[in-house]
Amino acid sequence: MSQTFFLPLTFASFTQEPKTGAEAPAPAGGAAPTGQTPNPAAGGTTQPTAAPASPCGGPETLIYMGVFLALMYFMVMRPEQKRRKETQALLSAVKKGDRVVTIGGMHGVVTGLTDKTLTLRVDTVQMTFDRSAVARVERDDAAPPAQKG
């Protein structure tokens, strides 16, 4: 079974070429076309003005790029650096007897520490984790949150 599709090609046969300044119709009211100024010394004919600015922009593009980079720094990079410093301070402050939660969600009590690892007691089992696996430390000295009632 062969199906045929009808595709009208009426617009494909017409090509439109740009008009030159001599062929362009004069605007109503005797005003000069956009981008041109009348030249009374040349018999009232129009004369092109300065070329329009390039689409890539000029110095304002550099200003916008600088503003964009500054926003990127203050909204993305700086908060990430703060978070990394806080995490580093948290990991260096861990001591024996602290209750910690790992990034996997395991709760345990710290029983041993080395430079890069810590040993957790979970129920009766002792497990060794990297220090970077600690998500948060639960200390008893923190005040309990107020309950609504």
Work out how many domains the chain is built from and give that number.
1
The residue segments making up the domain with residue 66 are 59-138
Rounded-to-integer distance, Cα 134 and Cα 52, Å: 60
CA distance 45 to 30: 11
Q: What is the CATH number of the domain that holds 108?
A: 2.30.30.100
- Tokens 């390039």 correspond to 54
For residue range 16-60, list pLDDT tens digits in order: 666 665 555 555 555 555 555 555 555 555 666 666 656 777 788
Give domain status of residue 147, yes or no: no
| Mean pLDDT for all residues in the chain | 77
Q: What's this model's pTM, rounded to 2 decimal places? A: 0.48
Mean pLDDT of 87-96: 91
- Distance between alpha carbon 43 and the CA centroid of its chain, in Å? 56
- Residue 34 is assigned to a structural domain of this protein: no
SS (H, E, C) 97-135: CCEEEECCCCEEEEEEECCCEEEEEECCEEEEEEHHHEE
The pair of structure tokens assigned to 49 is: 């003005």
In a domain, 95, yes or no: yes
Q: How far apart are CA 108 and CA 121, in angstroms?
A: 5
pLDDT in tens, 130-147: 999 999 998 766 555 555
Domain for residue 130, yes or no?
yes
**pLDDT at position 52:** 62
Q: What is the pLDDT of residue 63?
A: 92
Helix (H, G, I), strand (E, B) or coil at 30: helix
Close Cβ partners of 50 (under 8 Å, ≥ 6 residues apart):
none
Residue 144 lies inside a defined structural domain of this protein:
no
